[in-house]
Structure 1
Amino acid sequence: METLSRSSSKLEPTPVNWRVILVSFTILTASSSTISMLFPYLPWMVRKFRVNGEFVQEEDVGYYAGFVASAYFFGRFFACYFWGILADKKGRRLTVLVSGSGIAVFTFMFGFTNTRLGLAWAMVTRFLSGASNGVVGASKATVADVSDDTNQALGMTFVEASWGLGLVVGPALGGLLAEPVRQYPGTFSSGGFLETFPYFLPCTVTASLFAIGLVLVFFLLPETLRKRGSSYNVDEVEASVLYVRPVGNDDDGSVSIERTKENNDTFVQDIDTVADESEPKAYVRESNGVWTRFRGLGRRARRASVTAIKDSTWWNILKIKGARMSIATYCVISFSVVGFDELASVWMATKSYRGGLGFSEKEIGISQAVLSVVLVPVQIIFVRKLEKKLGSLMTFYAACTVCVLITASLPALSSIENSAALWTMLLVSLIFLRFCMGVTFIMVSICMNNSVPKYRVGAINGLSVSLTALTRTFSPSVGGSLFAWSIGWGEGHLGFPFGHHLVFYFFSIVYLVALLLSVNLPSSLQKQKKQ
């Protein structure tokens, strides 16, 4: 018996599909803007809410800001896996257009949040906005569809850079346009619509920009998912045909195949869908890498009804060790990154005598915009070079270590009294931190994409976004609640390290957990599956 194995050929550089990459980058930037645009004004919005008939107190702002931020990711938890399945079945482009329309609508509705509608309206509209967001998983699958080992790092860098640019656009719009009557009294008169709904303007502008992104998707983004279940002329299919008999499962989820009859120089692998077959069958490998069974054996068959053997499911994905560990690492990283993003705004807005920086909405928006303006080109220039030199896993280890160290050191900045020194140290620290946050996401995303065949990339991204949404649901609430407790009871009764330092140490430990988890990632995930 002769068993087929993976061919090892030297990879040649592949041209980048810039149209797909840039359109995906644009819609992902718009998506991240809808998430981040409330960061600068969320603490002030929460202060206007009434709870039990009273306005929210300063020490409780972190609690309720965490609830509003968590509602978005709670919605994503329920819906994103199903958006991923839709992306694999009906197409990436359709998923982006349908889900993106919901994001635009509910972002617009969030703008009507005020004192009268209060916490409930804010949480419901953010929940629905999150439940509508299938854009992230579908767009990441789109980029993976047009990438290979020679350019995948660059493609995923643009995916991550879109979040960075969204942190320019979103907070800038939120910080500059929120409460326009108070910020620009000479331009907007009191007692009007914008005073009744002080957050209508940034939400409407952000939703409008997202709608423009959807127009670009409609006209410029091609469908990258290869349709299955169609009829083909065997001679025209970019494929190799082989008569095979399954002989057993490998540890990584693939199936070893006994060669019973050759056709060309085909190597069979990663067929995890024929384990129960006992008779020799004929399969064809399409140009998208999907192995499917067809009727009409032989080279001269005129037509072949090509049918997918098995659909992508969460169970089939989680059976693969590399996929399980990649998703677990991605979830832990997401918990810390999103928790820190929400914490950063609350910490900056908190009075200095409570361990914060005492920043205004505009100062928070400016700080986020400056960071992201620097980070976007830096990520695009350096991440691919790091990945090429060190490999995906070593790059992840290094970046995660930096995240552990910088996160733990940030609370010391509140003791700096000189404004210029504070801004300098803050921006330098956050530039390095956010760069390394982005690198961890890029590297673990590459590992996730490489852990499954391409016809399951939509499903694994949908599943990962859904599961990370669950961790992101709790991280803002955990971070906000821990910060609120620490600057109140913890600082007053226990002192260091249970004061404002505590929540930073907590997220630093979470990064350390992610680092330990990543040690179990197989080195094979640094390359795409050969199909």
Structure 2
Amino acid sequence: MMNSHDGSEDETTVPLLEFDLDQEAQSVDSNKAQALQRRTPLPLTQLMILCAVRLAEPIAYTQIFPYINQMMEDLHVTDKPSDIGYYSGAVDSIFAVCQLFTVLQWGRLSDRIGRKPVLLFGLTGVALSTSLFGLSRSLIWAICARSLAGALSGNAAVVQSMISEITDETNQGQAFPLTGLAWSLGCIFGPMIGGNFVDPAKRFPTTIGTIPVFANNPYLLPCVVSASLTMCSITFGIFFLKETLPSKIAVNEKSAHRLSFGRENEKLPQKQVSIKYILASPIIKSVFKNYFLLSALGTSTDVVFILMAYTPVRLGGLSRTPEEIGYALAFSGMAGGIIQVLIFPVLQRKYKNIPLYRALMSLWPLIFALLPFINIIARMTLPAEALLDDDLRFPASPLVWISIGVVLSVFRMASMSYSLNVILIKNAAPSQEALGSTFGLSQSVACIARASSPAFVSSIFAVSKKYQILGGNFVWLAMFGIGLLALWSTYQVVDGAEERERMKEERNMF
């Protein structure tokens, strides 16, 4: 496919599951020692502001997870509990479908007019669409609200571009996980908001539940709480977030210089790099292909865990309530935040990007191998009547919760591959001026995966349980296979920074 994949010929003969990270670490320790001594200090103030702004989107995105299946039941989209996954998956998928058609344009627009206005406009769209989703009285309304949210949301590419512009190779391993922490915190608060504020007429019958608009719209309150937090992020961003686009900064500085001295010394903004030029890079193609599979795995894990947790035990699930699902997802987000901030920077400094990336990607098949065992444990520990009546919700045993915690922790360990993938995408960008477009393209690739994955995995889950294919376990076998495919594809991924360094050394030899 390419003349060079990893910068060395013997890399292609390494066995699929063999990761000699210590050997790789020893080979780069001497090279990184000097870099560590002159590491650029992190621009903590702007990073913290970016994280605060970034926090709003995952809260809005994940707050529907605890109650989406219950919402589909209340909307009477189907009379069969085993088919709920089709519809909840469709509602989740439509967000990414609509984002697919706009995220690249938001990224390219940010390359022209600046990062800050695009970011703030996207947050405004998130607040509006989240509120509308809470007013859903039909499946069509819910789909339209999620469609609006996806179409107006291009923040991920913009935030990644901004971090790339205020960091360098010496401190990016610390900076990118901080946005991962913001996402993880959002994944803590979002499900907790969704699980604890849903149906206020029952949960808060003497206070908020007496307000007609909330009594008549049981899913509005968590959406309003989420939208309010988003508005706080918008206000925070307006007053404290600084523009990072180099050409925009240059124009502003040039204007100030002209006012002071009456002449111009700054470079004019450069011409925008074309999409065709970006996609012509073999390195970009290799990173994007793996990012598609990574996004598919991450989205599928979120969806299938929620489905499994809500599904009755007799059908292969865990029979948990929306509130319990919210707490489980909050734990997952907390574990992800700790791992991203405390563990990832250490690993990224010690090992090369590509070997570490392969090691982390090897955890995805393990997740799908472990998930069916939680149902087995639930069957062994729940009373017999829990297997006969789907409406009964018995407390889960401590062993079930420990098993859930283990699987979700492995999931968050595997999710460190997202931060590495962002670094690989940044390293693969053809130029500084193309960062917004490159990250916009990467998000388009991710959107295709996120748009297709929920419906795909929900359908496989429903079919597996409905027809008891392989005892209802076909879904786990299918996802295990996709995990292996993603692991195999990492052997075609190239680190652009290492490739440029290798080419520079080759030129210096002649």
TM-score, with structure 1 as normaliser: 0.79
Farther-moved stretch of structure 1 (40-49 vs 460-469): 460-469
Would the aligned equivalents of 2:426 and 2:435 in 1 still touch at CA under 8 Å? yes
Q: How does 1:187-226 map to 2 (within 5 A)?
A: 187=207, 189=209, 192-226=212-246
Paired residue total: 444
Alignment of 1:112-191 (within 5 A): 112-114=135-137, 118-187=138-207, 189=209
Superimposed CA distance per residue, residues 153-195 of structure 1 (whole angstroms, 9 cap, x where no aligned partner): 1111112222211110110000101112233445455793323
Query: 1:177 is aligned with what amino acid?
Result: F
Q: Look up the match of 2:332.
A: 371
| Correspondence 1:391 to 2:352 | yes
Paired residues of 1:181 and 1:194 also in contact (CA < 8 A): yes
Partner of 1:58: 81
Give 1:412's aligned residue. Answer: 373
Q: Please report how far the alpha carbon of residue 524 of structure 1 lies from its aligned counterpart in structure 2 after TM superposition.
A: 3.9
Q: Give the deviation of 1:513 after TM superposition.
A: 1.9
Aligned match for 1:447, one of 399, 406, 424: 424
Mapped contact 1:387–1:395 kept (Cα < 8 A): yes
Aligned to 1:335: 296
Q: Show the counterpart of 1:4.
A: none
Q: Is the contact between residue 330 and residue 468 of structure 1 (CA under 8 Å) also seen in structure 2?
A: yes
Counterpart Cα distance in 1 of 2:419 and 2:253: 37
The alpha-carbon distance between structure 1 residues 187 and 56, as it changes in their structure 2 partners (threshold 3 A), is farther
Aligned to 1:506: 478
Aligned to 1:41: 67
Q: 1:469 offset after TM fit, Å?
A: 0.8
Aligned to 1:495: 470
- Give the counterpart letter for 1:386 in structure 2: L
Are the equivalent residues in 1 in contact too, given 2:203–2:209 (CA < 8 A)? Answer: no
Distance in 1, Cα, partners of 2:336 & 2:100: 28
- Structure 2 residues not aligned, in runs of 5+: 1-30, 258-262, 382-396, 505-510
State which of 429, 432, 435 in structure 1 corresponds to 2:410.
432
Residue in 2 that maps onto 1:106: 129
1:349 to partner: Cα distance: 0.4
SS in 2 for 1:15: coil
Give me the whole-angstrom Cα distance separating, in 2, the residues matched to 1:46 and 1:39.
Answer: 12
The CA distance in 2 between the partners of 1:377 and 1:361, in whole Å, is 25
Structure holding more helix per residue: 2
Q: Secondary structure at the match of 1:316?
A: helix
Alpha-carbon distance in structure 2 between the residues aligned to 1:466 and 1:165: 24
Aligned equivalents of 1:526, 1:100: Cα separation in 2: 36
Does 1:77 find its partner at 2:100? yes
- Alignment deviations for residues 308-351 of structure 1 (CA, whole Å, 9 cap, x no partner): 55312221111111111111111111011112212211110000
Alignment partner, residue 437 of structure 2: 459
Bigger Cα Rg:
1
**SS in structure 2 opposite 1:227?**
helix
Structure 1 position 507, deviation (Å): 2.3
| Percent of residue pairs bearing the same amino acid type | 25
Please list the CA deviations of residues 215-241 of structure 1 after superposition, one character each: whole Å capped at 9, or x if unmatched: 1111111111111685999xx9xxxxx
Corresponding residue number in structure 1 for 2:58: 32
CA distance in 2, matches of 1:146, 1:191: 46
Residues 198 and 86 from structure 1, CA distance in 2 versus in 1: closer, same or farther, beyond 3 angstroms? same
Q: CA deviation at 1:210?
A: 0.8
- Contact 2:297 2:483 (8 Å CA) reproduced: yes
Give the secondary-structure state (helix, strand or coil) at the position aligned to 1:356. Answer: coil
Q: In 2, are the aligned partners of 1:46 and 1:56 still within 8 Å (CA)?
A: no
Give distance in 2, aligned partners of 1:507 and 1:203: 32
Assess if the C-alpha contact under 8 Å between 1:231 and 1:304 holds in 2.
no
Tell me the CA shift for residue 523 of structure 1.
3.9
The 1:523/1:84 distance shift into structure 2, 3 A limit, reads: closer
Aligned CA-pair RMSD: 2.4
Change (3 A) 1:46 1:397: same
Once structures 1 and 2 are overlaid, which stretch shifts more, 70-79 or 184-193? 184-193
2:107–2:436 contact (8 Å) kept in structure 1 = yes
* Matches of 1:80 and 1:324, distance apart in 2: 18
Contact 2:247/2:268 (8 A) holds in 1: no
Within-5 A mapping of 1:463-482: 463-482=441-460
Per-residue CA shift, 1:361-389, capped at 9, x if unaligned? 11001111122223212320110110111
Q: TM-score, normalised by structure 2?
A: 0.82
Q: Distance in 2 between matches of 1:56 and 1:399?
A: 41
Structure with the higher strand share, 1 or 2: 1
Task: Report the alpha carbon displacement of residue 423 of structure 1 after superposing the two structures with TM.
Answer: 0.3
Q: Deviations along 1:248-280, whole A, 9 cap, x unmatched?
A: xxxxxxxxxxxxxxxxxxxxxxxxxxxxxxxxx
Residue 412 of structure 2 aligns with an amino acid whose one-letter code is R
Classify the secondary structure of the residue corresponding to 1:519. helix
Q: Cα 1:459–1:528, aligned 2, differ >3 Å: closer, same or farther?
A: farther
Change (3 A) 1:410 1:526: farther
Distance, in Å, in 2 between the alignment partners of 1:354 and 1:76 is: 33
**2:66 partner SS:** coil
